A = this chain, B = another copy of it.
Amino acid sequence: METRRDIFQAIADPTRRAIITLIALQAMTPNAIAEHFDATRQSVSKHLRILTECELITPQQQGREIYYQLEVNKMKEIDKWLEQFRKIWEVRFNQLDEVLSKIKAKKQ
């Protein structure tokens, strides 16, 4: 739990993905977040710590409340990793397109 911690590991947990989605549009306090789940406040708190550790969210103190906000830019790192495959699925699509063209050409 306190060892290697990266974005991919962070989003592996379904609760954490739900938290990310929940606060994506609006920063929320731990209590408010916990109310959206079956999980206890402490459990959510642990998830928030993990998400904070890998900088996917950032806490903003406001009086005694802490609003957690999504760091959308960090989410882009996942997008960045997918980039390499995006090229491939475009190529495969083009190859399919080529095959279809040949079939069409044969028919004529």
Contacts and interface: CB of A to CB of B under 8 A. Distances in A.
Interface in A1-39: 6, 8-9, 11-12, 14, 17, 21, 24-25
Nearest to A20: B85
B8 A17 contact: yes
Contact of A78 (B73, B82, B88): B82
Contact of A72 (B6, B11, B24, B88): B88
A92 B72 CA distance: 9
A82 B82 contact: yes
A76 interface: yes
Interface in A38-80: 70, 72-73, 75-76, 78-79
Contacts of A108: none
Contacts of A25: 88
Interface of A: 6, 8-9, 11-12, 14, 17, 21, 24-25, 70, 72-73, 75-76, 78-79, 81-82, 84-86, 88-89, 92
